[in-house]
Amino acid sequence: MTVSNLPPIHPGEILRDLYLEPLDMTPYALAKHLNVPRTRVERIIAEKTSITTDTAMRLAKFFKTAPEFWLNLQNAYDIKIAAQAMESDLAQIKELAAA
C-alpha cells in the first residue's frame, strides 16, 4: 500500500484559499448560493467537517467543477489521516506474496 508523503490537505483549505478568497466571497454568500446553512460552509472552511456528497454536488454546480473533484479531495484527506492513525497496525500486516 502506498500513501503519499505529502501532508494531508483538508478540502476546506482548498475551498477557502483557491475559491472563496480569490472571489472575495464570504462563507455566508456561498451558503446562500448553495442553498445550505451558513454553518455548513463555515465548518468546512474551518476544517471541522467533511464534504458530503450533497455538498460536493452543490459546489460542483456553482463552481462549474465535477462533484468527484470535491469528493476526491475529501477521500484523499481521509485516507492520509487514517494512514497516519493506523501506521503501526498496518505495519504488522504481511502483504500477499506473489503467486
Class of domain 11-91: mainly alpha
Q: Give the angle 22-48-30 at the CA atoms, nearest 5°.
A: 35
* 69-97 pLDDT tens trace: 999 999 999 999 999 999 999 999 999 99
Determine what percent of the chain is predicted with pLDDT higher than 90.
Answer: 90
Burial class (CB in 10 A: 0-12, 13-18, 19+), 56: buried
What pTM was estimated for this model as a whole?
A: 0.89
Q: Are the C-beta atoms of 57 and 24 separated by less than 8 Å?
A: no
Domain boundaries, the chain: 11-91
SS3 content of the chain, % helix, strand, coil (to 5): 65, 0, 35
* Rounded CA separation 20/6 (Å): 24
